[in-house]
Amino acid sequence: MKEATATGVKWQEAIASALLKTKRNLEQHPTDFPHISNGKHYEWGSNEDWIEGFWTGIVWLCYEYSGDESLRQHAHAQVESFDRRLSDKLALDHHDIGFLYGLSAMAGWIVEGNEQHKALALRAADHLLGRWRESAGLIQAWGPEDDPENGGRIIIDCLMNLPLLYWAAQITGDERYARIAAAQARLSRKFLVRGDDSSYHTFYFDGSGNALRGGTHQGFRDGSTWTRGQAWGIYGFALSYRFTGDPEFLETSKRLAAYFIERIPESGIVYWDFDAPAAGSVNPDSSASAIAACGMLELLEHLAPDDLLRPRLEQAVKRTMNALAELSLGMAQEAEGLLDHGSYHVRGDYGPDGYMIWGDYYYLEALMRLEKGIPGYWYERERN
Ligand code: GLY
């Protein structure tokens, strides 16, 4: 995909700008974590939401790219914060353990073979495994086991938490992690992906695993396609394919990607929901585009050279990353975020338009994949 540079967008310039902002943000906020933006600035807070791993992932990416020792030290300090958080079980009654511990502790193991970080990531995988509900056959997304609303609920985002489990199976040799991850991916494929290749954000089951209904949390309506959910699916199924080799996961990622590509607007950056009414102004979600770009880059690694989807994927990555890099490089120098015009929960009027730390992470991961072949922290790499 290096030929994408021929379009004039300079990935190196985009990475240099991201590196500068990351170092400046660390100087100004050495211990806090950025969440979503409030006007021109991030809201900085402690490590107790689902999103803090993205900041640590950005710091690891910047360290890998630059070799700057101060970045490594910041990454280590942040991983210590994740360690305390797991010991204290602080705000961990949800499935986003892969986002939190994959991009912090597992990343530390991947980047430098740190045994303490490996042990922490394995403890986190055990915590995630604790959300498996045997009688229903699912990983519960949110809340405690007996939660009346969320007890039998899965969401498409969970696909991105599964790599932590697949990885734990590889490291420990305990197949239970991988069996549960693959079962969750199969359930997601069956119920969250619809016949026309669009997706539900969320699906409900009863305590015995009987399917009740599809729905949404952050999308426009229950039957609509929330673009970030579709993007989680593209990337998540491609990763499940990487770990399992199950061709159904590859095919599902391709279907979701083709649906997404068809709906990329002229600007190159998707709106927050593919079914949101076009009347008036429709908020974009740059974070959905960044996640989808990473997912498509992952997918491209698994496709045969003559796969008919390949040229469309390559073109879509190019368009998306050109648009995102132009957006990023056009932002004010003092802006703390890398990407403007992400959205968190438009319908709920919470973070409808601004920086989203996960958007920044995936944008930088996509740049690193394109420029340096650094694929983020979802799976082991060859060790020298
Ligand atoms: N995983 C929550 C979100 O994408 O907003």
Nearest CA to ligand 1 atom 2: 157
| CA separation for the pair 121, 68 (Å, rounded) | 24
Q: Is 353 a catalytic residue?
A: no
pLDDT of 93-126, one tens digit each?
999 999 999 999 999 999 999 999 999 999 999 9
Low-confidence ranges of the chain (pLDDT < 70): 1-9, 279-280, 384
Residues touching ligand 1 (Cβ under 6 Å) are 157, 218, 228, 344
Four-CA torsion 65, 70, 72, 76, nearest 10 degrees: -150
- Catalytic residue among 88, 146, 147, 157, which? 157
142, 201, 227, 228: residue to mutate for ligand 1 pocket, most atoms within 8 A of CB: 228
Amino acid at 293: A
Four-way CATH pick for 11-372: 1.50.10.10, 3.40.50.720, 3.30.1330.90, 3.20.20.330: 1.50.10.10
| CA separation for the pair 319, 58 (Å, rounded) | 23
Q: Helices 310-329 and 247-262, interaxial angle, to 10°?
A: 60
| CA separation for the pair 140, 137 (Å, rounded) | 9
pTM, two decimal places: 0.97
3-class secondary-structure state, position 271: strand
What spacing in Å lies between the alpha carbon of 344 and ligand 1's midpoint?
A: 7
Among residues 256, 287, 298, 257, which one has the least CA distance to residue 353? 287
What ranges do the domains of the chain cover? 11-372
What spacing in Å lies between the alpha carbon of 157 and ligand 1's midpoint?
A: 6
95, 157, 346, 350: residue to mutate for ligand 1 pocket, most atoms within 8 A of CB: 157
Cβ atoms of 147 and 183 within 8 Å: the answer is no
**Residue 32 class from Cβ within 10 Å (0-12 exposed, 13-18 middle, 19+ buried)?**
middle
Four-CA torsion 58, 284, 257, 238, nearest 10 degrees: 20
What spacing in Å lies between the alpha carbon of 282 and ligand 1's midpoint?
A: 19
What spacing in Å lies between the alpha carbon of 149 and ligand 1's midpoint?
A: 18
Give the β-pairing of 138-139 and 132-133.
antiparallel
Res 38: pLDDT: 78
Q: Which atom of ligand 1 is nearest to the CA of 96?
A: 1
Cβ atoms of 210 and 151 within 8 Å: the answer is no
* Structural tokens at position 329: 């490089």
Among residues 130, 263, 138, which one has the least CA distance to residue 191? 138
